[in-house]
Amino acid sequence: MSDFNANIDRNLKVEASKQPDPVDIHVGKRIKLRRTMLKVSQDQLANEIGVTFQQIQKYESGHNRVSASRLFDISIFLSCHISYFFEDFEINSRLKQNKNIYSDNDTSHKQKTPTDPMLKTETLEIVRAYWKLPSDDLRKSIRNLLISLSKRESN
């Protein structure tokens, strides 16, 4: 129960700082990524879930939190599991943030979001091109080539 109370206290302190929470920023980026992958406009998504496109912009930037019910509606419209929006979130940075908030020495509540290659336009272009390849065999060959090249580069 102390972890629960600690999270409540942390959330109150973060809200007081008026900075977007890293989780909200991450969820917003994942909404934008999924929406753009499906070639859905902000206006289309907004109309479907009953908000304005400006609200979608605020969700995607992390300036407004997405409620659980709204996130559920978004996941249905964008045809993905609700957990998709939390994938690749750096839990360790969140744990570190929680520790920093409780240390009296730390006065800043800003948390930089990690640079996520899955959120880059370049990644989206590669994924789209991959799925446009005409055959499973060709896709498999390209995937194996990329895996092989990335192993060489890391050595």
- Which pLDDT tens digit goes with each residue over 92-148? 666 666 555 555 444 444 444 446 677 677 888 888 888 889 999 999 999 999 889
What domain count does the chain have? 2
Under 8 Å between Cβ of 85 and 75: yes
The domain in which residue 128 lies consists of 120-155
Query: Quick one: which of 57, 62, 51, 55 has its CA closest to 18?
Result: 62
pLDDT for 106 equals 46
* DSSP SS3 for 18: coil
The CA angle 150-153-154, to the nearest 5 degrees, is 90
Whether 103 and 143 map to the same domain: the answer is no
Kindly state whether residues 88 and 152 are assigned to the same domain.
no
pTM summary value = 0.58
Domain assignment present for residue 34? The answer is yes
User: pLDDT value at position 124?
Assistant: 80
pLDDT at 138: 93
Number of helical (H) and strand (E) elements in the chain, helices listed first: 8, 0
User: Is the domain of 141 the same as that of 65?
Assistant: no
Residues 66 and 126 grouped into a single domain: no
**Cα–Cα dist 88/13, whole Å:** 25
Are residue 90 and residue 127 in the same domain, yes or no?
A: no
For the chain, the average pLDDT equals: 81
Residue 115 belongs to some domain of the structure: no
Query: Is residue 131 one of the residues assigned to a domain?
Result: yes
How far is residue 33's CA from residue 36's CA, in Å, rounded to a whole number?
Answer: 5
User: Which residues are CB-contacts of 38 (< 8 A; sequence separation ≥ 6)?
Assistant: 78, 79
**pLDDT at residue 112, as a whole number:** 40
User: How open is the CA angle 74-49-129, to the nearest 5 degrees?
Assistant: 45
Residue 44 has pLDDT above 70, yes or no: yes
Residues 74 and 133 both lie in one domain: no
Average pLDDT on 51-74 reads 96
